[in-house]
Every structure is written in structure tokens, then in C-alpha cells.
Structure 1
Amino acid sequence: MPYQDFRRANALLNQHISQIADDQVSFRIQYWGFMPLHYNNSLHRHSFFEICYVHEGCGEYSDNGIDYPLQDGTLFCSRPGIWHQIRSEQGLTLFFVAFEIDESRTSETYSRNFRSLIHCGKIIAEPKNANISAQIWQTIFSLIESKQPASKDMVQHLVLSLFLSFLHGLSSVPDLSVNSLDENTEEHRLLKRAKLYIEDNLSSPLRIEHISQELGISSRHLSRLFQSQLGQTFVHYVQERRVQKAKKWLLNSDIAIKDIAKRTGFDSIHYFTRVFTKKLGVAPAKFRKSQFSDGRQKKKQT
């Protein structure tokens, strides 16, 4: 596969497919990745799911200190809060996507089942189940790399099917009605309230002391919840949400970048640019420009 096809797939999906939903389930997508040669990365963790498919190559995947072999056709899941690492001497051709469930727009059944992947899901999908996801990955990539313009509606339907195939391939509980062990815990309810508060107040200075007071718990307790449940500090989580909100405005509005920085709670446009670039690998102005150019090209074709 030519390198430019990977670049095109990365650009189009990251710019145009950042949220997928139907009447039962909704996903917020953090980023897409198509990499022709992935070698080693550092030991790290996320506050969200990251699911990878090995198109070609071999290597190892470490999850919570346990190593799993990687080879052609392997589908594997990096769970929120779990330390993990990918290693390969020859390099892997990888397709991957990072996402979280928008529980405010998702049925309890689907929320429960995706949460169950965190505690009792499979790290590596069985070959016959991985093959279902693999075929959808390949179809999405083929559609994107085609010289003909890709239908956004078609890609969105394929992406939704891809995400549901993850549940099919990685869940150890085939019955969608089975309850998750932690769905009614106080920790889950407190974290959900904290996340809602953050989402509603991104334009304001967000201090852990204020939110913990709102919840009636100590700052230390709330800090531990973010670390244990999301594998991430409070500050880093807020930063991620600010960037995702800014990304949405950059894609869907003509609001000035300095005003977007202010609306998403950044102290200055310079700090906003630095954080945004670090998270997404492209500066806000360039990110918007690529989207704007793509939109103008579509208008000329119609």
C-alpha cells in the first residue's frame, strides 16, 4: 500500500469522522491511525479505548505486564487505564482507532457492555471474530484510498458497524443483557457527574477543588477516581476535553481561533496552539485550513 494512501486515510477520517451515533449508541472518536510501519512505543495508558488491527507484520503486545503475540490479522484492545506497549522489530502495518462511549446518548445495554470490556473483555480477539472487524477495516480503507470521492454516509455506516464488531469480537459475554459488575457503584456515579460538570463548564477555569466540593467529596478522592477509573490525571482529562471541543468548533464553525481558545478555557492562544498540536499532531490553523479547502473543493464539484 502506498504511503500516501495511509496519509489520506488519516487525514480524511480524523477531519470528518469524529462522532458516530444511531438511536441506541454514540461514540466520541479521539483519533484514527493508519500506519505502514509501527515499531516500538513507550509503556503508556489512555483514558479511552484504543483498538488496533494488524494488517501485516509480527511483534508483541504487552497489557498490564502480560505479553501477547501479534501477527497478520490480530485484533487487540487497549483498555482505559491499563498500561500497555506495542513492540516489533520488523514493523507492523496497523489500523487503529481511539474512542469512548457517549453515555448520555447511549442505551444502558450498550453502555454496560462496553464498560464490561474494561473488566472482563478479551485482549486479543479470536481469529474468526477478528476477521469480521478486519473485513470492515479493509472496506473502509479501500473506500478512502479509492480515487473516486468517498461517500461520507457510507463511511459513517461502515464505521458504526466496525465499532459494533469490536463488541462482538472482544466481549467475553455474548448476551447483551448481562450486567456489568461496576455499573451501579458510587465511583461510577461520581465520575459521571464530574465528567458532566467538566463538559458543561469547559470555558471556565476548572479546578479539582471546585468540582469535588460540588460532588461533596474531597479533592484527593476525586483525583484518585480519575487515576483509578480513567488512568489519567484530572488535569490531563480536562485538557483532552478542551481539545475535542475546540476541534469540533474548528470543523463546524468560522469562529476565530483566539475565540475558540477562550471558549475552551485556554489562558492564551499560544498555550491553546501548543496543547492542540501536541494532542492531534497539527496546529489549529492548519487543521481548519485543510477542512476549509476540502469543503470548497466539494462545492466546486456539485
Structure 2
Amino acid sequence: MKYPYESVVINEEVPMLLLMTSVRYVAMHWHDRIEFLFVVKGKIQVLVGSEEYSLKENDLLLINSNEVHGVEASEDNRVLLLQIPISFIKKWHQNIEVESFHCQSFIESEQGMFNYIRLLMIRLMLTLRKKELGYEIKIHSLLLDIVYHLISKFRVSNHKQINRNNSKDMERLTRITNFIQMNYMHPITLNEIAENEGLTVPYLSRYFQQRMGQPFVKYLNGIRLEQAVKYLLETNWPVIQIAMESGFSSLNTFHKLFKDTFHTTPYQFRKNQQKTLNNSLKNEVKGIESYEYTEEDDFNELEKYIQRLEIIN
């Protein structure tokens, strides 16, 4: 299991990102894609701006393009994740860049329109998995069906706006977050970034909180924590080396933040993940560099899931 899943390249033949994955920690970020998170197993916490959502099995959440969001989980989970590029939708719906959508299954009692999205997402995954003759055509068909359903059922009306950053904010936030991601292993201060941006420290502190939905220090520690999780999964380095390489000032600071987030120690986290990997048959996704995901059993479960949804619908 490799992170971040956001690094995956979307190609022309399959114009989407679709993964069945187990999420542990993904720091706050944004992209020009509409994203669906469908929890198949377990629970995850999703932060969208300043809003936090606790998603459990069967919950479906849409994240609009350029909405700042992050994900974390303290228990085993399986999430079906779909990202559709705005550039793909724009070919058929030119106003997509100014549209917003509201799709949160966990706040609605009637699940019919959400079940249809769930059904299409699972069909997409099974189609991509089987890769039968002409599967690219089927994927385009299913994607367009999702887009149509999205526009007809989940479009936000003019009187209700979803808070998203504008292009100027995106440029500034991109500079700031790129700087943090390139220098997280070193001491970074708000003073340093404020000087780079020609802003006062108080203004930058408020600006970052408003646009990213969390304080600068929390975001910085989130980036460091994300790197630490990668090191725990991908190396056999001692925990103290991982803490230092990830930019934490001390082992105690790293331990406290890790335990507060995942409710376990770094050592036990690594041990549990290694045990899971040793007991699972992993399959590498072709075309996605260095990313491994899911077990064969997951696809058997999806086959059963789709049968239940088809009966309901």
C-alpha cells in the first residue's frame, strides 16, 4: 500500500482514478477532480474545509473540485474511491467549473439516488478489473451515466453555495503547500513563509486557517505524519529514525501525535500492517506506479454487493 493516492496519473483511455484502497492518513489537499468516497468496510474520518465527517460502512460522500480535504482512519477499512477530472466532464457540460454538488448519503433517509451511484461505482471497478474486450467503451459509458446522475440529482441550486477557493487563492496555497512538502523534514516557521509571500504573520495565520480549514502547525504535522506512515510501511528503519526523517523535533512529539491520530503506537501500527500484508494476496495495479491494493476477496464482496443493490433498485 503506497501513498499518496493523489499521485496517480489519469490517462485518456481510462479518464478517471478508481481505487479500492485502505486509507490510513492523507493530509489536507485539493485537486481539479470531483471525488467520491464510498466506504465498503470500516470507518474513516474525512475533513472537508472546516467540516468533519465520520463515515461508516455504506456511506457515500462527494468532494467538489478544489475543495480542501483530508482523510484519516484509526481502524481497518476498505474504501472505493473515484475521481473524475473536470476536464473530462467539461467535454459534455461546459459549465462544470462553476457547478457544485451536494452528495452525502449519511444525512438522508431515502437512499435510492445514492444506491444508483454506488451501483455505478462498483460496476466501474469490476469493469476495470476484468478488462474484457471493449472495456474502455463501457467505462466511458458508466462515467457519463454518473455525471448525468450527478447533474440531475445532486447539483447545488443557486441559492446554496459550497465554499471553494478561487484561482488566486489556489495559486498562493499551491506555493505555500509546495514549500512545506519540499521542506517538511527541516524546521519550518510561519515567519519564513510569511516573508516569502510578503505577508504579515498574523494575516498569513488567519488566511491559512480560513483556506485550509486548520492551523499551519496542524497541516505541517499532518504532512510529516503522512511521510512517517509511508516510512513505517515501506522501510525497516527504527522508529526514532523515521521521526527524525519526517521532520519531528523529538521522538516524544512523534509518538504523541501518532497515538492521538491512530490510537496506537508507531511500532504496533507497523506490526499490525505487516501482519495484514503477510496474510493477504496483493495485486499490483498496472499503470499506477508503485501502488498495490486490495485482495481478491474484495472483488468477491463487490460482486455480492452489486447483487444486493440490483435487487433494491
Normalising by structure 2, what TM-score? Answer: 0.52
* Corresponding residue for residue 135 of structure 1: 119
Question: Contact (CA 8 Å) 1:246, 1:261: kept in 2 or not?
Answer: yes
Corresponding position of 1:122: 102
Q: How many residues align?
A: 222
**Candidates 23, 31, 48, aligned match of 2:10:** 23
**How far 1:75 sits from its partner (Å)?**
3.6
The match for 1:265 among 247, 256, 276 is 247
Q: String of CA shifts for 1:155-193, please: whole Å, max 9, x gaps.
A: 9xxxx99999699648628xxxxxx985422x2211111
Shift of 1:135: 3.3
Instruction: Name the structure 2 match of 1:209.
Output: 191
| SS of 1:130 mapped into structure 2 | helix
Specify the SS of the correspondent of 1:275.
Answer: helix
* RMSD, aligned CA: 5.2
Aligned counterpart, 1:146: none
Tell me if the contact between 1:246 and 1:260 (Cα under 8 Å) persists in the aligned partners: yes
Residue identity over aligned pairs, in percent, reads 20
SS of the counterpart of 1:255? coil
User: For residue 270 of structure 1, what is the amino acid of its counterpart?
Assistant: N
Contact 2:86 2:97 in 1 (8 A): no
Matched, 1:251 2:251: no
Task: Please give the secondary structure, in 2, of the residue aligned with 1:242.
Answer: helix
Task: Choose between structure 1 and 2 for higher RCO, CA contacts under 8 A separated by at least 6 residues.
Answer: 2
Give the deviation of 1:250 after TM superposition.
1.1
Aligned to 2:135: none
| Contact 2:243 2:251 (8 Å CA) reproduced | yes
Amino acid at match of 1:23: I
Q: Which amino acid aligns with 2:5?
A: Q
Q: Give yes or no for the alignment of 1:109 onto 2:95.
A: no
1:197 aligns with 2:179: yes
2:260 matches 1:278? yes
Judge conservation of contact 1:46–1:81 (CA < 8 Å) in 2.
yes
The verdict on how the C-alpha distance between 1:285 and 1:119 changes in structure 2, with shifts beyond 3 A counting, is: farther
Q: List gaps (5 residues or longer) in structure 2.
A: 27-36, 70-76, 131-138, 157-162, 282-313
Distance in structure 2 (CA, Å) of the matches to 1:228 and 1:99 = 27
**Partner SS for 2:249:** coil
The whole-number CA distance in structure 2 between the counterparts of 1:269 and 1:282 is 15
DSSP-derived class of the 2:264 partner: coil
CA displacement 1:60-87 (0-9 Å, x = unmatched)? xxxxxxxxxxxxxx744578679xxxxx
Q: How far has the Cα of 1:296 moved from its partner? A: 4.2
8 Å CA contact retained: 1:81, 1:232: no
8 A Cα contact 1:204 1:265, kept in partner: yes
- Alpha-carbon distance in 2 for matches of 1:293, 1:54: 23
Verify the 8 A CA contact 1:251 1:288 in the aligned structure 2: yes
8 Å contact kept, 2:60–2:104: yes
Distance 1:198 1:45 in 2: 20
Equivalent in the alignment of 2:201: 219
- Residue 134 of structure 1 and its aligned partner are, at CA, apart by 2.6
Corresponding residue number in structure 1 for 2:155: 172
Which amino acid counterpart does residue 184 of structure 1 have in structure 2? S
Q: Distance in 2 between matches of 1:51 and 1:249?
A: 27
Question: What secondary structure does 1:120 align onto?
Answer: coil
Partner Cα distance (1:196, 1:297) in 2: 37
